[in-house]
Amino acid sequence: MSIIEFLQVPIFQRALFAAILAGGTMSLLGIVIVVFNMTTIRFALMHFGLLGGAIGLALGANPLTAAIAAIAIGSLLFGPLSDKLKLDTGLIGAFFMTGSIALAFLLFYKAGVPALDVFSLFTGSILTLSRNDLLFITVLGTVVVLTFVILYKEIQLIFYDSEQAEWLGVPAKRIRNGLLFLTGLSIGVAMKIVGALLIDALILLSAMAAMRLAKNFKQLILLTSLFGMVTTTGGLLLSMVLDLPTGATITLTGVLILLFSTFIQK
Amino acid sequence: MLKGNAIELTNIAVGYGDTPILRGVDFKVKVGEFVSILGENGAGKTTLFKSILQILPLMSGKIKIFDREVSNGRDNTWLRSQIGYVPQRHNQGNFPISVFDATLLGRWGSSFSYFKRPSAEDKEITMEILNTVDLSHMLQHDCRRLSGGQTQRLNIARALVRKPKILLLDEPTTHLDAEAQNKLDITIASIRKQYDLSILMISHNQSHALKLSNRVVHLSKGKIHPGLGVAL
């Protein structure tokens, strides 16, 4: 089948729409992760999702909804807890990760939740998105872009020098916590789109590549968004044409872009 | 020109939690004066700055800036318009931002904020300050690629861009080589004159402090002790 033929199938239309939108918008949150040095937050939130999924299954609720709810709650707790415990956001991730995975395993054992059912949450695919998923991606993507546009100066100041931002009267902690919350929600969505193990491709790799090439914040935003879109859309189209697994192809496209950025960086 | 005291601390105590680091500190900087504070690591020099800036609340005592009491924390907007603060910051982190933007954003809250964009005047002032610290040829340069000396001159520009009357410098020349240090000294002396600044500088180097300032004081055991006076 050619790309044109693929695009006449509703499943692929939905997938392409999601790829463009999620790739172009959620990738921006990768900047938050890189700047605040929070690479552990992804693992922490994924494990939080695992715990949520286990609770959902134990209570007979929809495990994916429960997982995303747990991720949302986790990302709300991240900033305030790291302030309260005076731990850096990287370390607090380790604290969350180990705690939640231990609880999840206790739950598997005590409530007889089949662990494999929960782990299956981690193998999402962009080809199985429902209308509601698309709606959720659209709303979340719009919120992310609006946040970066409206708080452009403030976010820039916080990323560059949060101490100065605070002294100038910018509510640095509240904005940071808001960004962490959006990041958590996006990780939840990415779990559904590419599968949790491939989240980096959607959220992290584009920002890492753009960080190397951009000279200012505007370039950083535009490049991240562009790389994000190329990663998801390019990966999706390649996987259709070459008949390869979608998640892995998307991730590999992201890796190639990152590799490319390290070569052309002066 | 203003007269009297730029900074006046009366019997202040300040610290973290319930533990005071500074106790019973009385200290003045006259308008136009350049005072350096020397002291061991951990003597509380940066804590003193944070109390003047109202970042740390006072446990007791009073702080006046140009004879206006600011220790109640209600006048922070006014305080920010009077004081420029150059913290110890020797690298620019990992975030890409241009020299011009980094400096311009120092004016946040004075003439632009959330929904108000920087005006032509904001940009003019930014240009003027970058010119003064000799960075006007690097406006679009990525801050991550600046040298140590350029980084410190940028830090000073970011504090000066609000056109304050008082400048607090926290060990500005630490980690700089002799050449960069000399260039920074010249910059500090020239901005002091150009903008009628009263300056309070933390230093770890007595001869450097004596070279630049009118007066040097020592901070030890939570108290300020008069040091050598130098007439410039």
Interface predicted TM-score of the whole assembly (ipTM), two decimals: 0.86
- Does any domain span residue A84? yes
CB A259 within 8 A of CB A210: no
Flag whether A266 is in a domain: no
Q: What pairing do the DSSP bridges indicate for beta strands B215-220 and B34-38?
A: parallel
The domain that contains A125 carries what CATH number? 1.10.3470.10
3-class DSSP string for A231-247: HHHHHHHHHHHHCCCHH
Total number of domains in chain A: 1
Please name the member of A153, A159, A217 whose beta carbon is closest to the beta carbon of B108. Answer: A153
A154/B102 Cβ within 8 A: no
Q: Which of residues 105-124 of B touch A (CB under 8 A)?
A: 105-106, 108-109, 112-115, 118
**Which of A157, A163, A219 is nearest residue B105 as measured by Cβ atoms?**
A157
> What Rg value do the Cα atoms of chain A yield, rounded?
18
Residue A189 in any domain: the answer is: yes
Q: Does A203 reside within a domain?
A: yes
CB A33 within 8 A of CB A183: yes
**Runs of H (alpha helix) within chain B:** 45-52, 76-82, 99-104, 120-132, 148-160, 178-194, 206-212
Looking up tokens 């509380």, which residue turns up?
B44
* Domain B5-229, architecture per CATH: 3-Layer(aba) Sandwich (3.40)
Q: Show residues of chain A in contact with B143, CB under 8 Å.
A: 160
In terms of residue numbers, what domain contains A116? 3-261
Of B85, B96, B101, the CB nearest to A214: B96
Per-residue confidence (pLDDT) for residue A254, from 0 to 100 = 92
User: How far apart are the CA of A205 and the nearest CA of chain B, in angstroms?
Assistant: 16
List chain B domain ranges. Answer: 5-229
SS3 call for B15? strand
> Which residue of A149, A167, A217, A218 to mutate against B (max B Cβ within 10 Å)?
A167
Q: Please indicate if any CB of chain A lies within 8 Å of the CB of B101.
A: yes
Residue of A nearest to B56 (CA): A167
Per-residue pLDDT of chain B (232 residues; tens, 9 = 90+): 567 889 999 988 888 878 888 888 888 999 999 999 998 877 788 888 888 988 888 888 899 999 888 876 667 788 888 999 988 876 677 899 999 999 999 998 888 888 888 889 999 999 999 999 889 999 999 999 988 889 989 999 999 999 999 999 998 888 888 888 888 899 999 999 999 999 999 988 888 888 889 999 988 877 888 875 544 4
Q: Does B143 touch chain A (CB under 8 A)?
A: yes
> Which positions 152-181 of B are in contact with A (Cβ < 8 Å)?
158
**Order of strands across the sheet that contains B223-229:** B83-86, B166-170, B198-203, B34-38, B215-220, B223-229
Q: What is the pLDDT of residue A85?
A: 76
Compute how many other C-beta atoms are within 10 angstroms of the C-beta atom of residue A92.
Answer: 23
